Chain A
Amino acid sequence: MSTQAPQGLFAVSQALCTLFILLLPFALAGLALINTGLARSRSAAHSMMSTLCVVGVAAVVYYAVGFSLEGFAGLSSHTFTFHNRDWSWLGAGRWFMRDVPLEGSPASFAALLQMMCVGMAAMIPLGAAAERWRLGACCVSTALFAGLTYPIFAHWVWGTGWLSRLGMNFGLGLGFLDSGGSSTIQAVGGLTALSLVWLLGPRRGKFNLEGMPAALPGHNTVLVLFGCLLALVGWMGLNCAGAILFAGAQPGRTVLVAANTLLSAAGGVLAAAAVTRYRFGRPDASLSANGWLCGLAASSAGCAFLAPASAMITGLVAGALVTLTVAWMESRLGLDDPAGAVSVHAIGGIWGILAVGFLPFAPGVLGGLNAAAPAIGPRGQFLSQVVGVATLLGFVLPFTYLLNWLLNFVVPQRIPPEEERQGADLYELGAGAYPEFMTHTDEFTQW
């Protein structure tokens, strides 16, 4: 975006940034509970264990390599000139964050925030590939994600890359706007989830011989709904920190950001509950949870810019969209996505990006971001957002698909279908999540 991150944060902004970033683990915990609750009990421990490993691998790889490729405003980057315009396409920092002293500069806050953001994005495929993705393979896939896929796209959006400069270089509004990560975190994670769902195939028993899907309900709805509440806390931290660091918002603007986040989530859950009530006669808990999460995913892009009513509309559309696309993807596209991650994060994220392009901004928000902002034509801003979506579909999806397809030859990603019967817990970890509730056939036969 053409608005530059501030070169020096005031003490208040530093304190707020620290607070907001420290809220982010709540979003990770919420996503972990949602992914686990929506999977069957035979893979619950595997799901939580995978989450810990993925977050760990992502943080280490991003610290070692990822941030150097992503960069930040004021750090060096690889640039070429085409048609008299500079195209910044990759960060050129030194590995292990040696360019960024971790002492409170904006770049250091961005680095800390994104060490968690990349883990959050890498967790999204876990929900889609639940019950059939090997632990070792998901760690290696996460390493590729945190070291390549995420930093490249995040540089273009948050590291003063070419997408963020579409406004400055080509007069397309303010350039690609996404302060909270609807594209960099949600859509990139969701498209990676889509590629893995394709590569892994459905769970055993999900589709019958005629291709009709069977219902394999999650094992704990309470975990899922509690995870939604935890995710809200983390998302507020993510969106507020992102607004300060990547959109140059003043600390007072975080009130708008937090309100927009809540309103979008509220719109999402209410729309999902209403649509499922209309379609099935009763509101569906897991789809309503997906609506809540989809509202959050869609909120991130415009939370620092949109008026509260616009944020609520974003959430309402996201909630309705997710209930329809989850069923459509399963029945028409043959995708087995237990957590609905592709619909929630990819489609919700893309919708959030596009919504910034045409929904009304909050009064005075542009002056607060950049007093010298050019007059924004709605067509130019929308075109900027469309270019960002085209980049996600035209670059990120094929790239992540190719990476995981190649990885599958080196490290087989799927648990053998015959082992799925006993569950990923027993196959990979040797013990179940709920041992006291397991039925041991031999014990029964002895009596």
Chain B
Amino acid sequence: MKLTGLLMMPAGWIIVVAAVALLRLLSAQELFVAAGCGVEILGLVLIVRSHLAEKGGSE
């Protein structure tokens, strides 16, 4: 789960950068940047949950 989260965060960032580089319309850029940020936040949530699971397991 942690590895997935760690991979999702750069994946979301690449979506953000690609949106800025490849799209010309501001509204389209905003949409894809929001999607990329969403992927990053999902990755962050996965990392948080994996650490919570580790902490619970060690107690």
Contacts and interface: CB of A to CB of B under 8 A. Distances in A.
Interface string B16-59: 11001110001001100100110011001001100110011011
Interface in A131-151: none
Interface in A164-204: 166, 170, 172, 198, 201-202
Contact of B26 (A83, A211, A383): A383
Contact of B13 (A172, A334, A394): A394
Nearest to B26: A379
Contacts of A205: none
A209 B44 CA distance: 25
B43 to A, nearest CB: 8
Given A83-B22, A201-B55, A211-B55, A387 B33 contact: yes
A398 interface: yes
B13 to A, nearest CB: 2
Contacts of A7: none
Given A209-B59, A211-B56, A334-B55, A387 B40 contact: no
For this complex, into which size category does the number of interface residues on chain A fall? 20 to 34
A386 interface: yes
A389 B29 CA distance: 15
Nearest to B52: A334
Nearest to A209: B59
A380 B37 contact: no
A159 B47 CA distance: 31
Contacts of A427: none
B1 interface: no
Given A170-B20, A207-B59, A333-B52, A386 B10 contact: no
Contact of A379 (B17, B30, B58): B30
Given A379-B26, A397-B9, A390 B33 contact: yes
A143 to B, nearest CB: 23
B10 A398 contact: yes
Majority DSSP secondary structure for residues of B touching A: helix
Contact of A390 (B6, B13, B29, B48): B13
A334 B55 CA distance: 8
A249 to B, nearest CB: 27
Contacts of A387: 16-17, 20, 33
B5 to A, nearest CB: 9
Contacts of A202: 55
Contact of A394 (B26, B40, B48): B40
A207 B56 CA distance: 10
Given A83-B22, A211-B59, A393-B9, 17 more contacts: A166-B20, A201-B55, A202-B55, A333-B48, A333-B52, A383-B26, A386-B37, A389-B37, A390-B12, A393-B37, A394-B11, A394-B14, A394-B16, A394-B40, A397-B9, A398-B10, A401-B6
Interface of A: 82-83, 85, 166, 170, 172, 198, 201-202, 207, 209, 211, 333-334, 377, 379-380, 383, 386-387, 389-391, 393-395, 397-398, 401-402
Question: What 3 pairs between A and B have smallest CB-CB spacing?
Answer: A394-B13, A390-B16, A393-B40
26 contacts: A82-B21, A83-B21, A170-B20, A170-B21, A172-B20, A207-B55, A209-B59, A333-B48, A334-B55, A383-B26, A383-B29, A386-B37, A387-B17, A387-B20, A389-B37, A390-B12, A390-B16, A390-B33, A391-B13, A391-B17, A393-B40, A394-B16, A394-B40, A395-B10, A395-B13, A397-B9
